[in-house]
Structures are given as C-alpha cells and as structure tokens.
C-alpha cells in the first residue's frame, strides 16, 4: 500500500512537471465523422491533450443498417453479428506534437452492443419446460484496435480536419473472436478549445 502511494505521488509530480514545461493553448477537442451520416450512422468524440505529443479521449457511435452491411464481422457460426452501438476509449500519440498538423497513431478499446441472429435461444414455456428456438441474442462485448491518421489544423488551429483508418477486433466472454471491423474510420471535423 505504501509503495503504491509513493508511485502515485511520483506520477502526479511528473504530470505537473510536464504541464509546467509545455503550455498548451488548446487542451480539448470535440469531433464527428462526416461520412457516417451517409450510412445512417453517427458518432461523436472528445479528446483531452495530456502533454506535447499525447492525448486521450472517448468516442461513441450508433450504427444504422446501411453501415452494418459494410462490416466484416457479419457472419459467425452460421448466423450474423450486427454491431448496434459502441463506446471507444482511446489514446493517441502525435508525431509532430498535438498543437500542430501531424500524423498520429491511436490505440483504442471498444465496448459494443451486438445483435447475434440465427442463434439457438433457450426460453421457458408456460409448463416450465425449456424450449430452444432460433432467434436473436443481444449482448455486450469488448475489443481492442489501432488507428492511424493525419490531422490538419485550420482557422487559427481551432478547426480540425482529420483523415483516419481504424481497425478493431472483438472479444466475447466465452471465447476470442479475431475478426476485423472498421471503427473510427473516415473524414472527421472538429473544434478545439
């Protein structure tokens, strides 16, 4: 316990030292994907600058049926998987610094709501007997992924235009599903403050 407290205090001191060394004019960014509405979907992301080259954030997306038809993970065990929505925490490193136009690399997590159709579902009938039927099962699963992109800063570095490609794999509670799906991919516009 004592060792953990010492490490935590050292971590806070290091963060404060980094903050004192690098005054950042814009620490917050809100953005959205311009291409997702074409597919009946929407997303929003918030990013917080931590230092000269690092940032963390949280994105959320709701996917419509046209986007679901584009995903790679739509067939599985004879049924189909459809990602309905997801929350994606992410961390970025900017190669030229986060206050300039720069390439970036992103590591992300994913917590998604999935509908799996064509699956055997067990239910109990009026007599109390277990009955199996083919139906749709909804559940939440996690995943990990990576992304790469480039960020352009316009209008006194307040307006952001990003081009990004991101892939993630999904994990289920009972097994690991190693299939790729496009996430956080497209042309994004945002505002820094």
In this prediction, residue 12 carries a pLDDT of 63
Query: How big, in percent rounded to 5, are the helix, strand and coil portions of the chain?
Result: 15, 60, 25
With a cut of 50, list the residues of the chain below it in pLDDT.
72
Residues forming beta bridges with residue 145, ordered by sequence position = 108, 168
In this prediction, residue 169 carries a pLDDT of 83
Positive/negative CA dihedral, 141, 145, 147, 153 = positive
91 occurs within a structural domain? yes
DSSP code, position 185:
-
Spatial distance between the Cα atoms of 129 and 74, rounded to a whole number of angstroms = 32
109 occurs within a structural domain? yes
11 occurs within a structural domain? no
3 occurs within a structural domain? no
- 150: containing domain: 25-192
9 occurs within a structural domain? no
Measure the N-to-C terminal CA separation of the chain; round to a whole number of Å: 38
CATH no. for residue 142?
2.40.160.20
43 occurs within a structural domain? yes
In this prediction, residue 76 carries a pLDDT of 55
Rounded to whole angstroms, the maximal C-alpha distance in the chain is 71
51 occurs within a structural domain? yes
User: What's the whole-model pTM score?
Assistant: 0.77
Spatial distance between the Cα atoms of 134 and 45, rounded to a whole number of angstroms = 37
72 occurs within a structural domain? yes
Count structural domains, the chain. Answer: 1
């Amino acid at each position: 316990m004592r060792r953990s407290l010492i490490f935590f205090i050292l971590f806070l001191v290091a963060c404060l030292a980094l903050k004192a060394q690098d005054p950042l004019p814009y620490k917050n960014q809100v953005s959205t994907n311009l291409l997702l509405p074409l597919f009946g979907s929407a997303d929003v992301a918030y990013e917080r600058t931590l230092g000269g080259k690092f940032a963390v954030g949280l994105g959320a997306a709701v996917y419509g049926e046209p986007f679901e038809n584009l995903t790679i993970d739509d067939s599985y065990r004879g049924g189909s998987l459809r990602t309905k929505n997801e929350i994606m925490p992410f961390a970025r490193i900017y190669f030229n610094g986060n206050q300039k136009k720069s390439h970036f690399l992103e590591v992300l997590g994913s917590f998604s709501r999935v509908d799996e159709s064509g699956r055997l579902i067990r239910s109990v009938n009026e007599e109390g007997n277990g009955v199996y039927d083919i139906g749709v099962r909804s559940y939440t699963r996690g995943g990990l992924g990576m992304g790469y992109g480039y960020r352009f800063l316009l209008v006194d570095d307040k307006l952001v235009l990003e081009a990004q490609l991101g892939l993630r794999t999904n994990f289920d509670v009972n097994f690991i599903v190693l299939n790729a799906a496009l996430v956080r991919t497209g042309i994004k516009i945002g505002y820094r403050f």
